[in-house]
Structure 1
Amino acid sequence: MKLINSLIGGFVGAIALNILHETVKQYYEKAPRIDLLGEEALEKSLDAVGIDPPEGKNLYLATLAGDVISNGLYYSAIGFGSTKNIYIKGAVAGLAAGVGALQLPEPMGLDDLPVTYSKPTKALTVSWYLFGGLVAAAVIKGLESKRKF
């Protein structure tokens, strides 16, 4: 049951992160464009193995699905072990993902501008991943608390 609770919490955190991203990018020009970074990564990855990447809306949807799956599995790790300091684990996981989103694109040969465009863009990138980690931690904690009764 712990594994299921961790997976549920991880995926809720990932979905919350994506809802936040998709909403804010429509209204704030300096919002991180994690979607653009993901699309570039998917295109380059598929090109590298000789597969034609999807285009347009299909590229966007494939990237969104990959993002939810990868972040959901990543955030699920927050639930492993004790729930004693789960909010600290959620915060550390979220901050690590956010800093990674800023630091890893360039060494990976990707354009980092969608997440490093400005100081507010950088701050929001890290904050959104932190938010996802904390949501995951809260859901996991809640599910684990109900399990004990």
Structure 2
Amino acid sequence: MKTLNSTIGGFAGAAALNIVHQTVKHFLNSAPRIDLVGEQALNKSLKLAGAKPLRGDTLFATTLAADVISNAAYYSLIGIGSRKNLLTKGTALGLAAGIGALALTRQLGLNDTPITKNAETKLLTVGYYLVGGLVAALTIKALSKKKPLKIPAHVNQDMPVIGNS
């Protein structure tokens, strides 16, 4: 159950990160364009593998899917080990991801301008990843508190369940 809770939490964090990113970019000119960096990374990887670069909606959808999966795996690490300090772990991993995005993009041979064009863009980049880490931590914490459903003794357990034939 611990692994499942961590996986669900990781996906919740990744979803939050991407929902915030995809929403804010439509309303704020200084919003980071993490998607553009991801598209560069995907096409660079495809070229290195000898495959044709992707374009348009296919590039966007493939990058988004890869982003959600990789961030979900990363954020699920929050649930490893003790359940104590989940919010601290979520904060630390979120900040590390955001700062890492700012510090490593250029070193990986990618154009970092979409996430570093000004101070507000940099702050939002780190903030998005922080939101993802906190949502993941809170989800894991909430799921960890859930107790298994117990059937009361007075309920006839031989009764057929709707949908089970």
Provide the TM-score with structure 1 as the length reference.
0.98
- Aligned CA RMSD, in angstroms, stands at 1.0
1:55 aligns with 2:50: no
Structure 2 residue 81 is matched with structure 1 residue 73: no
Write the mapping of 1:85-124 to structure 2, written as runs, cut at 5 A. 85-124=85-124
What is the SS of the residue equivalent to 1:107?
helix
Distance in 2 separating the partners of 1:38 and 1:147: 39
Structure 1 residue 54: Cα displacement: 1.7
Q: What is residue 143 of structure 2 aligned with on the other side?
A: 143
Residue 23 of structure 1 aligns with which residue? 23
Residues 148 and 87 of structure 1: CA distance in aligned 2, closer, same or farther (over 3 Å): farther
Q: Deviations over 1:50-101 (max 9, x none)?
A: 0112210100000000000000000000001111100000000000000011
- Alpha-carbon deviation of 1:148? 7.2
One-letter amino acid of the counterpart of residue 39, structure 1: E
Aligned-pair identity (%): 57
> What's 2:45 paired with?
45
Between structures 1 and 2, the one with greater helix share = 1
Q: How many residues align?
A: 149
**Shift, 1:147, TM fit:** 3.7
Out of 35-44 and 49-58, give the one that drifted further.
49-58
Cross-structure match for 1:11: 11
> Counterpart of 2:132?
132
Larger radius of gyration: 2
Q: Distance in 1 between matches of 2:120 and 2:134?
A: 20
Structure 1: where are the runs of 5+ without partners?
none
Whole-angstrom distance in 2 between the partners of 1:43 and 1:113: 17
TM-score with structure 2 setting the length: 0.88
